[in-house]
Chain A
Amino acid sequence: MKRLRPASSRWTGWLLVARPGALRSAQQQPVSLTLRRQQSTSTATAPASYNTQLDGTDHDRFPPLEPLPPSATSLPSPLPERALRSAKLAALHARLSLPKKLPLQTLARTLVDASADENPKFNNANLAFVGQTLINYHIAEWIMVRYPRLPMAIIWAAMLAYTGPAPLHQVARSWGIESAAVPGGEVDPGLLQYSLEKPGTAIRGFGYKREELDFIDKYKFRQSINSGVIFDDDYGNLIRENAQRQRQEEQDAMDANYDESIEPDHMSYGNEATRSLAENAHANFTRAVVGAIYAHCGRDAVKAFIKSHIMSRTLDFSKLFEFKNPTRELNMLCEREDFDPPIARMLSETGRLSRTPVYVVGIFSGNDKLGEAVGPSLDMARLKAAMNSLKSWYLYSPGGNARLPSDMLAPEARPWQPAYIDIGEVVAR
């Protein structure tokens, strides 16, 4: 399957090309107090930006904590060597227990969104793409092996619940990420930098643009699940022609609808579009951290990181389901699996003539009870019992310790035994 395509090494080559000179120059400059003092005294000869500030501060007595080079304010993102002096960045590195091999400069780069700095050598777009691929691969194989009978639509929904922008935004928040009000060269490199003014480059995942895309919208073409697996992205959404252009159009539409009469106070709290931009920026940061770990520390480290930060989240899979005609679907399932046809039987009841009757209905196939449910009417109880039976079929799990295909990448791995994967859907769309 295309979604299980592992990350190949050619991406890391492109990643590590980025800014070799920046890293070298940072290593040549030792970080010490003497350096700082030299810079603060040298400002007498070169009028630096902070000396020209009119705040009346006595800069000889209270030197600035971090003298900025004069060019800093004209840059779109902070200089890489400033990463070594950021307390926030060092604290973040320690908080995530990142390996020592991952330098602070790269961690600083993961915090620069494409909307803050368009240069792909200085923003996190490439790292985020690799991270997205790795996260989606590991979560997809884990979901499939853990719940081998899930229908494709449920797998897509579960993928969205684990690897979509909303959960990854929550992951970034749970790491204590703060964001800069406005991106720029002078902000602390430990702050997330993204712009609410212009949308950045959207990361494109795997998937292909459908030839019939224009007609899908126009004539409401039916799309099969199989074609969705091949063409669509990891969440079963259509690949649009140009996601960036679409976002730009949305932005233009938003600007056109901008109402001057709305109080600026209400605008400052943000709206749907700004919240979505912030969510994407946070999610891309999480992906970029994963990509950075892969680029510097390799496969095993990134797998452990995804397992401890993303896979450890919890989701009730039984709440993802929504059924139409569950009784008919259960009937077809029993037919397909050569079970006896399902029969609903009332197990218990109370208050049939009262205002609040309660019926307990079980669904039996031969002597086996497939499921049961409680309902206020016989029909409702039977429907709920059919849904419970279907859920207990779909949510079969071989246990949490089933081996994953990526476990085979470890050296001296035991020979692979094929994992059990069901065809999923009982009723194909």
Chain B
Amino acid sequence: MTVLAIKTLVSTGRNGVGAFILQCKKMDFHYCDWAGSSKGMNGFIKSALPEFAAAHPQIEITVSPRPSKHPVIIGHYINGNQKSICVRNLEPLQILKKVELLRDASGQKLKKVRKPVQSINDSVRGVWSPYHGEGMKV
């Protein structure tokens, strides 16, 4: 006769309500000392990367050589996914754009957004009901 409780529910996290956690947790920078396609990447690692790393302490950054291969940046995300971008023959500033793209990504697979608003909350106005109000005169 009393109220019973359903004990299987779990609260849902909402990133950005309260605390915000950047979804990119790690970035790998791979370069080659010899190949020409890594020229821009080598310049980026020397000039812009220290500044970027200092500005984003929440991202773990690794730099490692990958001889005889094109330079690659790999972003690792909190949901377990990773995204990689090949930056061959790009200038340091172009590479910085790519790095910022990886930083801002959520790690989700890219999807076409068809509905402008997505929400886990119920509509404030409720769903329209034909059984309420004056009704429609036929």
Instruction: Judge if B9 is at the interface, Cβ distance under 8 Å.
Output: yes
Instruction: Judge if B13 is at the interface, Cβ distance under 8 Å.
Output: yes
A157 lies within 8 A of B6 (CB): yes
Instruction: Judge if A315 is at the interface, Cβ distance under 8 Å.
Output: yes
Interface centre among B25, B59, B130, by most chain A C-beta atoms within 10 angstroms, is B25
List of B residues within 8 angstroms of A131 by Cβ: none
Report the number of A-B residue pairs with Cβ-Cβ less than 8 Å. 129
A292-330, CB < 8 A from B: 307-309, 311-316, 319-325, 328-329
Interface residues on A, range: 35 or more
In the complex, residue of chain B having the shortest beta-carbon distance to the beta carbon of A87? B60
List of B residues within 8 angstroms of A173 by Cβ: 78
List of A residues within 8 angstroms of B132 by Cβ: 347-348, 360
Instruction: Judge if B18 is at the interface, Cβ distance under 8 Å.
Output: yes
Instruction: Judge if B113 is at the interface, Cβ distance under 8 Å.
Output: no
B4 lies within 8 A of A170 (CB): no
B9, B22, B26: which contacts A161 (Cβ < 8 A)?
Answer: B9
List of B residues within 8 angstroms of A78 by Cβ: none
B13 lies within 8 A of A321 (CB): no
Segment at the B interface, from A46-54, A67-75, A396-404, A421-429: A421-429
Instruction: Judge if A238 is at the interface, Cβ distance under 8 Å.
Output: no
Interface size on B, residues (CB 8 A): 33
List of A residues within 8 angstroms of B7 by Cβ: 156-157, 160, 235
Q: Closest CB of chain B to A174's CB: distance in Å?
A: 5
Complex Cα spacing A94 to B1, Å:
51
Interface centre among B2, B15, B17, B78, by most chain A C-beta atoms within 10 angstroms, is B2
Complex Cα spacing A314 to B11, Å:
5
Instruction: Judge if B124 is at the interface, Cβ distance under 8 Å.
Output: no
List of B residues within 8 angstroms of A176 by Cβ: 21, 25, 78
Instruction: Judge if A154 is at the interface, Cβ distance under 8 Å.
Output: yes
Q: Closest CB of chain B to A110's CB: distance in Å?
A: 17
Instruction: Judge if B117 is at the interface, Cβ distance under 8 Å.
Output: no
Mark interface residues in B100-133 (1 if CB within 8 Å of A CB, else 0). Answer: 0000000000000000000010000000011110
Instruction: Judge if B47 is at the interface, Cβ distance under 8 Å.
Output: no
Q: Can you report 19 residue pairs joining A to B where beta carbons are below 8 Å apart?
A: A91-B57, A95-B58, A151-B2, A160-B7, A161-B11, A164-B10, A171-B13, A174-B15, A308-B18, A312-B17, A313-B14, A314-B11, A314-B12, A315-B9, A315-B11, A320-B9, A321-B4, A321-B6, A347-B132
Give residues in A with beta carbon < 8 Å to B: 87-88, 90-91, 93-97, 151, 153-154, 156-157, 160-162, 164, 166-167, 170-171, 173-176, 235, 307-309, 311-316, 319-325, 328-329, 347-350, 358, 360, 374, 390, 394, 425-429
> Which 7 pairs across A and B sit closest by C-beta, in order of nearness?
A312-B18, A94-B57, A157-B5, A308-B18, A95-B58, A313-B11, A315-B11
